[in-house]
């Protein structure tokens, strides 16, 4: 391992992020409202994808529970409504997802591979129908209205969530716990036998990932203004993050980031231009990615870079 590179990156990347964040903070002042709305959407997808990658990327435990935690966040906004300041509602949305993920993790993270994946997917349906039952039988109405927040506020909160998520991912990746998470994905039995508390590490990381998903859900509810269990717990939000992460390329912080950015921009554009065939175009893009770009966009970039520098530094991953 090249320790010099790591030290260099430790200063370079945060500086880069700060620059980008300052740029983004200026955006609501200089652009049209549509740009802010588009960027907010893109931020949402990036946050969901990075949250998913935080846990599922290194450990290899493919979670399809994103929609469950996202929906809980949405519902938090619906339940709290105007009674608390928006920022408090957002944090509550994160916390409730964290707590649920913690409990779910403690029960199910002993399941491995496809069993874990199927369980997490089942969780989305379970919560959806529980909410449906609750709303119809206890509350009496199926849907809820969420008070709207203005575009700039939503944009800034999403930006803050994204920045916090990027920092968390970055520090986790460069820490011993990030290495330990990768070792779980590599060989869990070996990891536990060299003293890594794999159970706690998995649960806490899973819950942290859910925390960010919950935050994102709560703030997005103010954009959508109406929610019901079918809208809130749409399995679509479970499948998108892994798709976007694979599209960008797993194994590198920028892969999922790039994947989500490009993918969601495509989605937002395609949905307005080709409202009836955009899912078809999406499917084609995914098939092509998996067939020809097994390492995603980042892999493509690395291949091109290697061509240009003559393969002298073939290993760009470390």
Partner 1 sequence: MQILQVEGLTKNFGGLAAVSEVDFHVEEGEILGLIGPNGAGKTTTFNLIAGTYEPNSGKILFNGENLAGKKPNVICQKGLARTFQNVKVFPDMDVFQNVLLGAFFGTPEKKSRSQAKSEVEEILDFIGLSDRTDMVAGSMTLVNQKRVEVARALATKPKLLLLDELMAGLNPTEVGESMELVKRIQKKGITVIMIEHVMKAIMNICKRIIVLHHGQKIAEGTPEEISTSKTVIEVYLGE
User: From the CB of 183, what's the least distance to partner 1, in Å?
Assistant: 5
The backbone torsions φ and ψ at residue 181, rounded to the nearest 5 degrees and listed phi first, read -60, -45
Binding of residue 193 to partner 1 (CB under 8 A) = yes
CA atoms within 13 A on the CB side of 298: 21
Judged by DSSP in three states, 315 sits in coil
Among 187, 225, 269, 277, interactor with partner 1 by CB under 8 A: 187
Check binding of 183 to partner 1 (CB under 8 A): yes
> How far, in Å, CA of 237 to CA of 149, rounded?
22
For tokens 């599922």, what's the residue? 56
Among 88, 103, 179, 314, binds partner 1 (CB under 8 A): 179
| Whole-number Å distance between alpha carbons of 11 and 3 | 13
Q: Say how far residue 80 (Cα) sits from the centre of its chain.
A: 23
Instruction: Write the burial class of residue 310 (CB in 10 Å: 0-12 exposed, 13-18 middle, 19+ buried).
Output: exposed
Identity of the residue, 153 or 306, whose beta carbon is nearer to partner 1 in the bound complex = 306
Q: Interface with partner 1 includes 83 (CB under 8 A)?
A: no
DSSP 3-state assignment of 99? helix
Q: Which of 46, 72, 89, 198 binds partner 1 (CB under 8 A)?
A: 198
Radius of gyration of the chain (CA): 20
Q: Count Cβ atoms below 10 Å from residue 6 Cβ, excluding itself.
A: 11
Which of these segments, 28-36, 90-98, 192-200, 273-281, binds partner 1 (CB under 8 A)? 192-200
Least spacing, CB of residue 185 vs partner 1, in Å: 8
Decide: is 298 part of the binding site for partner 1 (CB under 8 A).
no
Closest CA to 61 of 113, 100, 106: 113
227 phi/psi in degrees, rounded to 5: -135, 145
Q: Which is nearer to partner 1, 2 or 137 (CB)?
A: 2
Q: Which of 159, 172, 191, 245 binds partner 1 (CB under 8 A)?
A: 191
CB of 194 to partner 1, least distance (A): 5
To partner 1, the closest distance from the beta carbon of 192 in angstroms equals: 5
Selection from 48, 103, 270, 253 nearest residue 166 by Cα = 253
Write down the residue that tokens 């993920």 correspond to. 101
Quick count: other Cβ atoms within 10 Å of Cβ 86?
18
Span of 148-156, 193-201, 220-228, 239-247 interacting with partner 1 by CB under 8 A: 193-201
Sign of CA dihedral 107, 113, 115, 121: positive
312 binds partner 1 (CB under 8 A): no
Taking the C-alpha atoms of residue 72 and residue 128, their distance in angstroms, rounded to an integer, is 10
For the bound state, the minimum distance from the C-beta of residue 134 to partner 1, rounded and expressed in Å, comes to 38
* Smallest gap from residue 245 Cβ to partner 1 (A): 17
Q: Is 186 in the site for partner 1 (CB under 8 A)?
A: yes
30 binds partner 1 (CB under 8 A): no
Total residues interacting with partner 1, rule: CB under 8 A: 21
Out of 11, 82, 137, 176, point to the residue binding partner 1 (CB under 8 A).
Answer: 176
Task: Confirm or reject binding of residue 196 to partner 1 (CB under 8 A).
Answer: yes
* Residue 172 in the binding site for partner 1 (CB under 8 A): no
Where along the sequence are the contacts to partner 1 (CB under 8 A)?
A: 1-2, 176, 179-180, 182-183, 186-187, 189-199, 318
């Amino acid at each position: 391992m090249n320790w010099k590179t790591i030290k260099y990156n430790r200063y370079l990347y945060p500086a880069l992020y700060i620059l980008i964040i300052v740029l983004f903070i200026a955006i609501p002042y200089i652009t049209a409202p549509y740009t802010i709305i588009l960027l907010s959407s893109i931020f949402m997808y990036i946050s969901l994808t990075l949250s998913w990658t935080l846990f599922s990327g290194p450990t290899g435990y493919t979670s399809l529970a994103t929609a469950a935690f996202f929906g809980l966040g949405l519902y938090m906004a619906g339940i709290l409504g105007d009674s608390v300041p928006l920022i408090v509602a957002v944090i509550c949305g994160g916390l409730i997802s964290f707590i649920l993920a913690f409990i779910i993790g403690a029960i199910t993270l002993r399941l491995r591979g496809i069993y874990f994946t199927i369980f997490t997917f089942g969780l989305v349906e379970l919560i959806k129908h529980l909410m449906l039952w609750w709303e119809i039988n206890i509350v009496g109405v199926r849907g809820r209205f969420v008070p709207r927040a203005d575009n700039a506020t939503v944009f800034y909160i999403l930006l803050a969530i994204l920045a916090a998520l990027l920092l968390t991912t970055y520090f986790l990746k460069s820490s011993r716990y990030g290495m330990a998470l990768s070792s779980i994905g590599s060989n869990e039995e070996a990891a536990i036998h060299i003293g890594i508390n794999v159970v706690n590490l998995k649960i806490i990381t899973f819950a942290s990932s859910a925390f960010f998903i919950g935050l994102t859900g709560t703030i997005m509810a103010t954009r959508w203004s109406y929610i019901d269990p079918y809208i809130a717990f749409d399995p679509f939000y479970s499948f998108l993050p892994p798709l976007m992460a694979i599209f960008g390329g797993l194994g590198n912080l920028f892969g999922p980031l790039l994947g989500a950015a490009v993918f969601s921009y495509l989605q937002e554009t395609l949905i307005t231009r080709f409202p009836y065939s955009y899912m078809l175009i999406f499917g084609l893009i995914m098939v092509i990615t998996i067939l020809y770009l097994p390492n995603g966009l980042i892999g493509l970039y690395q291949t091109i870079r290697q061509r240009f520098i003559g393969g002298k530094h073939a290993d760009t991953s470390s």
